[in-house]
Structure 1
Amino acid sequence: MATIDLVDALSDRFSGEVIVPGQPGYDERRRVFNAMADRRPAVIARCADAPDVAAAVGFARDRGLVVAVRCGGHSVAGLGTCDGGVLIDLGGLKSIAVDPEARTATAGGGVLWGEFDAATQAHGLHVPGGRVTTTGLGGFTTGGGYGWTSCAYGLACDNLASVEVVLADGSIVRASEDEHAELFWGVRGGGGNFGVVTEFEFRLHPLGPTVLAGMTMFPVERATEVLRGWRDWADAAPDELSTAFVVLNAPPEPFVPAELRGGPVVAVPALHVGPPGAGAGVMRPLRDLGPAVDLIAPMPYTAFQAMLDPSAPPGFRSYWRGEYLRELGDAAIDTFLTHAVDLAVSGAPLSQAVIFRIGQGVAAVPDGATAFSHRDAAYLFHPISVWSDPGEDERLITANRAFAAAMRPFGTGAAYLNFTPEADRVRDAFGEEKYARLVAIKDAYDPGNLFRLNQNIRPSVPAATAVV
């Protein structure tokens, strides 16, 4: 079908904006966070509301076109865009409504975490959210969603009260514990496999607007000592401590001693999830390690949430992994540091290697309560390769995979799909029993696999036999 025909066919039932190749805004709207995903959809449907999403879904389904769904565009696998299909852009669904008395908030499927945090923090409330403010609510939450405060309050998906979903047949439903309960179970960890979430309703928790948080930094020569000390501190700390260990290249900023700038260093970000005056004792063991840089201080929660933004700029080529660790023994520490320092000096200065302390807020939710799995891990290992030269793709991806393989003996064997580009890790993320349940939900709600540009759960039954 000619481009003009595509535009006319969709525009007749669409209140948002339809963009095709050659029109203003097309190149901007088709780009996603990872520059390796340089794709050209036939149509970009920038939706204004849920009926627009339903119209775009029906348009693609009826013409046999592939569907991509974009909120923040942060999928490391580049799943928020496509070649030759329909890109459903949720960027127009920006509504946010906070009920401070009920401690709930509803947000449209196009809201970014920085926008959501600003709205909820106006009332001293929050929900565990993305650690980069330009991350979209959608993929982050439906994939589970580890945030800085997950140590105390669980995953983003654990704090959902309901969702509005556009299904493959174009119908719009509300899913909760009481309506479409199996769909609600699957959406909490099963990603975008079952429909397009156009509205989220979250339960909120008090925090901020000021928290005790920040970052410390150490010379890389002290890495083994500091990581072992950090592990001992994290293992013994209360769940109000959120922290990570990072090997990265120090930025050329005035707060960094001149001798450390531009070279590999150890950084430890930390947040006390509670009143700022109650966190000094929790932070003391970190400060007793004697950091070269100590930026731990009372600060706005929104500022801490934005702290990693400079290290995650869009438009670069990226390859990440997300692997779980049962514990962090000395052998795991030695293996991690060997590869982490190599990653930092790889010639890709924005690359970094992270270990997040998970905390018991995640494990406190019963494993069977949601599709999200493997809640018993102590740590999340996250190597991040970021570069600009396409000629470096093979070298840097191979090195990152080797890093993940070297850490696998210390892991659980499971993957965190929000950080994982490989499709062959999907079963690993859920286990066989949960995967079978997810397939049954897929059979019911998307038997034709219209929503397949995701960490895909493939249906097993013909479309004609499925019943929603």
Structure 2
Amino acid sequence: MLLQFSHKRLRDRALFERWDQLDSRLFDRIPRERLHEAQAQLLGHIVLPGDPEYDEDRKLFNPVFDSYPDLIVYCAVDGDIAIALRLAQDSTVPFTVRSGGHCTAGFSAGRGLLIDVSNLDDVCIDANARVATVGTGCTFAKLNSALAHYDLHVPGGECPDVCIGGYVQGGGYGFTSVTFGMNCDNVIDMRVMLADGRIVVASKTLNADLWWAMRGGTGGNFGVLLTVRYRLRLLGDVFGWALIWPLQTDHDFENATGALMALQSGYMLDKLRQALNIQVSLCWQPGIGLETIHAARPFLMVRGLYVGTQADGEKAIQPLCELPGAITQWTRMDSFNDLNVRLLDYPFSMPWFGAEQATMPCEDKASRYVTRALDEREWRGLLDYFVSSPNPYSYFYMEFYGGAINSPAEYDNAFVHRRAAFNAVLDVLWFNEGEREPCERFLNGWIEYMAPMWNGEIYQNYPRLGQSDYGACYWGEAQGSLDRVKRKYDPQAAFTFAQQVCPPLSSPHGPVIPGPSWLPQAIEQPIDYGQSAVNR
């Protein structure tokens, strides 16, 4: 084949011809010739403002974030990331790394150069060893589909479009986490590209401090995650269930408050069986059965997944089914993949927008961890506050912790929320700018209501812009150790964003604070580049 007619040559030639027609001001920060040079080296491709695909490619999942990067580099192989990093640093242009674009605070994009790794999505499964090697851009839709063929599993996200890259670095809660731990607890090792383009492996025995930090320390801090090797679990069919309580009359509210008290006394922390995974929600729905029978109304919804037999699952939830006002919507023995969808989408989606709604809503959310028991007045107040939502799209949920989530030591890795009873979350959603202010006011009011119950911690996979002392909220006393790891692996602070790892506000130059006993010594060791090092 004549090389001048290869797909890459033809594509690059078309790109260069198009770029030559663009406004010269687009190349003020990075010269046109330098972009030609970078594109010629890439297996992937560059998208610039003015390119027909730019306006769609720049968007994130949440339309409230409206960034306009100077350019987007779509990486096809690891080496493309090194080219993009060098391009940004040589041009002194800030950069952001994006895998799926689902960061709730919009940190998946920004000005400057956007490095998109969504095409690094390979999955390789060793069924005999029960190990999966997964690319950072792999979605959970793809990963779960690949694992299902072998009846293998790793705890994963509820949204099929979320990629593992950001998810695992923030901890990673899913509907089997009480049984099998957070997603990050199942990591064997990670391959990571540092800012200088060199690749390191982070594991329990190799660069162990980085392995500790990147399992909870959040993405965009230490390097670019390339691949993760997961330890897999055998998982056949599991038992799913859905209970619902109306919230219309005073009697309904009494029943729902009683249900929350019963959940607290019988299904939280050490009372929660490791096989039982529970999510409690407050949400507007248009009915209880399959038919839409009324305008959306508020309900208390308790749903979950039992890793075991149907008989054992039914026995585990029987006390809940017998509570006053409880209605069983459905129970089902099925595959994890099917139930992972059904639990949030059947008989109606949560939240529910109506079948005719095709526009993606804007979203804001907040997370608050709770470790103590709530009294009856506090539970009732939570119900009363929720039904005052300015629209029927608000969605409150509690992700119950316990079991394998809480069994590791508190600082076993950088996901530190090991004492929580549950993670309480409120999502507010709107479709036009006029709805935004009342929704934001409602969210802020909920944050004020939760303050007496809050333990001071926030799930780092649910960040919010403007959060004060975010480091203490996300990482607790592990923040000092995380800062030292960052300064070791990113000494020039190439990886920056609004809520990056930084020194604790209380002791910016203090000692390394709690972590595993081996961590201080590991931080003092030089970086081990091993056989995987790539020289620039």
**TM-score (structure 1 length as normaliser):** 0.92
Residue of structure 2 equivalent to 1:294: 329
Give aligned-pair identity as a percent.
Answer: 29
Cα distance in 1, alignment partners of residues 266 and 286 from structure 2: 26
Deviates further, 100-109 or 397-406: 397-406
CA contact (8 A) 1:246 1:267 kept: yes
SS in 1 for 2:41: coil
Matches within 5 A, 1:364-375: 364-375=407-418
Matches within 5 A, 1:127-166: 127-166=154-193
Structure 1 unpaired stretches of 5+: none
Cα distance in 2, alignment partners of residues 374 and 27 from structure 1: 38
Residue of structure 2 equivalent to 1:324: 369
Cα distance in 2, alignment partners of residues 123 and 137 from structure 1: 20
Residue of structure 1 equivalent to 2:290: 255
Deviates further, 196-205 or 394-403: 394-403
Residue of structure 2 equivalent to 1:59: 87
CA contact (8 A) 1:237 1:282 kept: no
Cα distance in 2, alignment partners of residues 34 and 314 from structure 1: 11
Residue of structure 2 equivalent to 1:414: 457
Q: Which amino acid letter does the alignment assign opposite residue 485 of structure 2? A: I
Cα distance in 1, alignment partners of residues 109 and 280 from structure 2: 32
Deviates further, 420-429 or 102-111: 420-429
Cα distance in 1, alignment partners of residues 359 and 92 from structure 2: 31
CA contact (8 A) 1:6 1:43 kept: no
What is the CA-CA distance between 1:22 and the residue it aligns to? Answer: 2.1
> In the alignment, which of 368, 391, 396 is matched to residue 434 of structure 2?
391
SS in 1 for 2:461: helix
Matches within 5 A, 1:39-438: 39-83=67-111, 85-192=112-219, 193-208=221-236, 210-220=237-247, 221=252, 222-235=255-268, 236-251=271-286, 255=290, 258-259=293-294, 261-289=295-323, 291-307=326-342, 308=344, 310-311=349-350, 315-330=360-375, 331-343=377-389, 346-347=390-391, 349-422=392-465, 423-424=467-468, 425-432=470-477, 434-438=478-482
Give the aligned CA root-mean-square deviation in angstroms.
Answer: 2.3
SS in 1 for 2:202: strand
Q: Which amino acid letter does the alignment assign opposite residue 426 of structure 2? A: P
What is the CA-CA distance between 1:164 and the residue it aligns to? Answer: 0.8
Q: Which amino acid letter does the alignment assign opposite residue 158 of structure 1? A: D
Cα distance in 2, alignment partners of residues 115 and 453 from structure 1: 29
CA contact (8 A) 2:259 2:320 kept: no
Cα distance in 1, alignment partners of residues 133 and 203 from structure 2: 14
SS in 1 for 2:102: coil
Cα separation, partners in 2 of 1:205 and 1:436, compared to 1, 3 Å: same
Cα distance in 1, alignment partners of residues 90 and 499 from structure 2: 23
What is the CA-CA distance between 1:454 and the residue it aligns to? Answer: 6.2
SS in 2 for 1:132: coil
CA contact (8 A) 2:178 2:276 kept: yes
CA contact (8 A) 1:54 1:172 kept: no
CA contact (8 A) 2:458 2:473 kept: yes
Cα separation, partners in 2 of 1:314 and 1:46, compared to 1, 3 Å: farther
SS in 1 for 2:387: helix
Structure 2 unpaired stretches of 5+: 1-26, 352-357, 510-524, 528-536
> In the alignment, which of 61, 71, 86 is matched to residue 33 of structure 1?
61
Cα separation, partners in 2 of 1:257 and 1:391, compared to 1, 3 Å: closer
Cα distance in 2, alignment partners of residues 311 and 135 from structure 1: 17
Cα distance in 2, alignment partners of residues 9 and 288 from structure 1: 69
Cα distance in 1, alignment partners of residues 34 and 257 from structure 2: 59
Q: How far does the alpha carbon of each residue in 1:435-460 deviate from its partner, in whole angstroms, 9 at most, with x for none?
A: 11111111111133222236311378
Q: Which amino acid letter does the alignment assign opposite residue 279 of structure 1? A: G
What is the CA-CA distance between 1:382 and the residue it aligns to? Answer: 0.5
Cα distance in 1, alignment partners of residues 281 and 223 from structure 2: 36
SS in 1 for 2:472: helix
Q: Which amino acid letter does the alignment assign opposite residue 93 of structure 1? A: L
Cα distance in 1, alignment partners of residues 365 and 304 from structure 2: 22
Residue of structure 2 equivalent to 1:12: 40
Cα separation, partners in 2 of 1:247 and 1:426, compared to 1, 3 Å: same
SS in 2 for 1:411: coil
What is the CA-CA distance between 1:11 and the residue it aligns to? Answer: 0.8
Aligned residues: 457
CA contact (8 A) 2:172 2:184 kept: yes
Cα distance in 1, alignment partners of residues 350 and 52 from structure 2: 30
CA contact (8 A) 2:192 2:226 kept: yes
CA contact (8 A) 2:43 2:75 kept: yes
Q: Which amino acid letter does the alignment assign opposite residue 82 of structure 2? A: A
SS in 2 for 1:370: coil
Cα distance in 2, alignment partners of residues 278 and 64 from structure 1: 60
Residue of structure 1 equivalent to 2:3: none
Cα separation, partners in 2 of 1:196 and 1:299, compared to 1, 3 Å: same
**TM-score (structure 2 length as normaliser):** 0.80
Cα separation, partners in 2 of 1:69 and 1:332, compared to 1, 3 Å: farther
CA contact (8 A) 1:32 1:78 kept: yes
What is the CA-CA distance between 1:339 and the residue it aligns to? Answer: 2.1
Deviates further, 129-138 or 322-331: 322-331
